[in-house]
């Protein structure tokens, strides 16, 4: 993965050139796992999810040269989620044996006339998965920055372990455990915000 992209605009602009393989690899690195989870959560059989991920990536690759990024109208991932949703609906239509899934997917509609209604189910799920995806990317980016017991303390807190058990397991004092946890947490939150700004 390249580290020379300062904003999502740069990456999006670079992948609009369909001959920039390096930028496309970066794009796939940042978005493929997220697309996979969204498709799986839409009810696609496990054995077909990877195929649909590839279809979505191909559709994105084909449509990106004509994509006009207008952040005041919608986020990039909103457009990407619409392509994902359309790909899954087309899949369900083609697979008659998934009639119940088709009915569920087809019932998810964007209701632009009534802004008081809640967002469609698929977009709520996609937003939740996006947050998890960005958190995982952020952790991968920062975890090696911490030496000693800081990462261990943070992971133990994340797993729900009690402070007394953490201190006993790692042979540290409570105050030290809280300081280490907060140090990692602060850096993780900053990285999550950075990635969310760059990749949304």
3-state secondary structure labels for all residues of 136-170 = HHHHHHHHHHCCCCHHHHHHHHHCCCCHHHHHHHH
CB atoms near residue 178 (< 10 Å) = 14
pLDDT for 94: 78
Report the C-alpha gap between 115 and 177 in whole angstroms: 46
pLDDT of 125 reads 82
What's 1-107's CATH class? mainly alpha
In this prediction the pTM is 0.61
What is the structure's pLDDT at 129? 86
Residues of the chain with pLDDT under 70: 1-9, 13, 16-18, 20, 96-120, 200
- Interval 80-99: pLDDT, tens: 988 999 898 888 877 755 45
Q: What is the pLDDT of residue 128?
A: 86
What pLDDT does residue 2 have?
A: 44
Domain map (residue ranges) of the chain:
1-107, 114-200
Task: Determine the pLDDT at residue 174.
Answer: 87
pLDDT of residue 111: 41
Class of residue 89 by CB neighbours under 10 A (exposed 0-12, middle 13-18, buried 19+): middle
- Token pair of 82, please? 């619409």
pLDDT for residue 9: 60
């Amino acid at each position: 993965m390249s580290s020379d992209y300062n904003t999502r605009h740069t990456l999006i602009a670079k992948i609009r050139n369909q001959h920039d393989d390096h930028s496309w690899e970066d794009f796939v690195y940042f978005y493929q796992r997220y697309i996979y989870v969204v498709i799986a959560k839409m009810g696609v059989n496990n054995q077909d999810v990877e195929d649909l991920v590839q279809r979505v990536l191909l559709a994105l690759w084909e449509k990106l040269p004509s994509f006009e990024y207008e952040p005041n109208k919608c986020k990039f991932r909103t457009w990407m989620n619409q392509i994902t949703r359309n790909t899954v609906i087309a899949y369900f239509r083609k697979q008659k044996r998934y009639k119940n899934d088709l009915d569920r997917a087809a019932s998810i509609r964007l209701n632009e006339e009534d802004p008081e209604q809640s967002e469609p189910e698929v977009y709520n799920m996609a937003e939740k998965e996006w947050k998890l995806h960005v958190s995982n990317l952020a952790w991968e980016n920062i975890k090696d920055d911490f030496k000693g017991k800081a990462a261990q303390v943070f992971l133990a807190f994340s797993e729900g372990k009690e402070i007394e058990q953490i201190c006993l397991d790692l042979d540290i004092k409570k105050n030290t455990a809280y300081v280490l946890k907060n140090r990692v947490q602060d850096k993780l939150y900053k990285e999550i915000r950075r990635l969310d700004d760059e990749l949304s």
